[in-house]
Structures are given as structure tokens and as C-alpha cells.
Amino acid sequence: MRKVVVEAYSADWKNRFEEEAVVLRTIFGNEIQWIHHIGSTSIDGLSAKPIIDMMPIVGDISKIDSFNNAMIAIGYEPKGENGLTGRRYFQKGGNDRTHHVHIYEAGNLGIERHLAFRDYLNTHPHVKKKYGDLKESLARQFPYDIESYINGKEQLASEIERDALKWYKIDKTVHR
């Protein structure tokens, strides 16, 4: 049974991202144009499940399935699109997950959604605190019920994502 664990922010999460990015670049080579650290572990000071979410950007998503055996060899489970058209998803660590890899082709709208969420929380401390407090509370309330944990944060996460996308589009326009 998978336990829902939300930990205080750790600076080591950035190191774990960097180390795994090197491994992924070795596997995928020139297919990867960029790798972003996303998700809660990428947000300074935010409590999170200690799973490193990574988002490699590639030129051609159709080539990624040919790397499934190489990913299996380093402990990843290929999950295909896993519910999101145009994405390739891999998870590492079984029930004690350590990494999630969300691969998108350059230009996919999912990229902006992830970056906006991350950057918005990194620049809006009151929203980050509200989100972190909710995650900690839900983890205490549902320690062995990941679905209830996810469902419990869905409304706030959707509100943050909506506000983040508006802010991100404005911010990109202002800073061009």
C-alpha cells in the first residue's frame, strides 16, 4: 500500500533533479531540447511528496517510445500517454516513487501549464503557503488514500493553475 507522505521542503530535491537530468540526457541524447524541474519539489519552500517531477521537452514525441527499454533498464516504468494526449509518462520507484518524467513535444500546451504553475507559486508566497498547508492537512487526513489526497487538492490546484496561466501570459508579454 502506498503511503501519502508530504515532507518539508528540501534543498536536496534540486540536486536529485540535476543528477537525474544527467541520466536522462544520457538515455535520450539529442532528442531532449530542455529539461525542466516541475511539480511541488521545484517550488522553493513548499512542502511536497518527495517525488521529483521532470519535464523533458523533445522535438518529436513519436520517437520517445523507442526508448522504453532503456528507461526500464534504469528503473522506470513506461506508462505511455497515461491520460494526457501528446505526453509520454514514466515513473520510477514503484510504490516508493522517486521520480516522475513527463515528456512533451515542443509547442504542447501542457508545457506552459506546468511552468506557469511552478513560477506562479515561486513568486506568490501567500498562495504557496495556502497550497502547502492544504497538502500537509490532506496527507495527515488520508495517509493511505492517494485518491482522496489528490481529490482534496484538486479544486485549489485548478484555481491556482487558472490564475497562474493568466499571470504567466501577462508576465511573458511584459518581459519580452
What is the C-alpha to C-alpha distance for residues 77 and 126, in angstroms, rounded to an integer? 36
Domain boundaries, the chain: 12-174
Q: Quick check: 153 and 135 in contact, CB under 8 A? A: yes
Residue 17: predicted pLDDT:
98
| DSSP-assigned letter for residue 46 | -
Residue 173: predicted pLDDT:
58
Task: Return averaged pLDDT per consecutive 10 residues of the chain, 176 residues in all.
Answer: 90 98 98 97 96 98 98 98 96 94 96 96 97 96 95 97 93 55
Query: Smallest Cα–Cα separation from 102: which of 82, 122, 123?
Result: 82
Residue recorded with cell 513527463: 102
Quickly count: other Cβ atoms within 10 Å of residue 162's Cβ: 11
* pTM of the full structure: 0.93
List, in order, residues 6 or more apart from 93 with CB less than 8 Å away. Answer: 51, 75, 99
Superfamily holding 12-174? Beta Polymerase, domain 2 (3.30.460.10)
Buried b (16+ CB within 10 A) or exposed e, 125-145: eebbeebbebbeebbeebeeb
Residue 172: predicted pLDDT:
62
Q: Which three cell numbers stand for residue 138?
A: 490532506
How long is the chain?
A: 176
Q: Which three cell numbers stand for residue 137?
A: 492537512
Q: What angle do CA 131, 51, 48 make, to 5 degrees?
A: 20
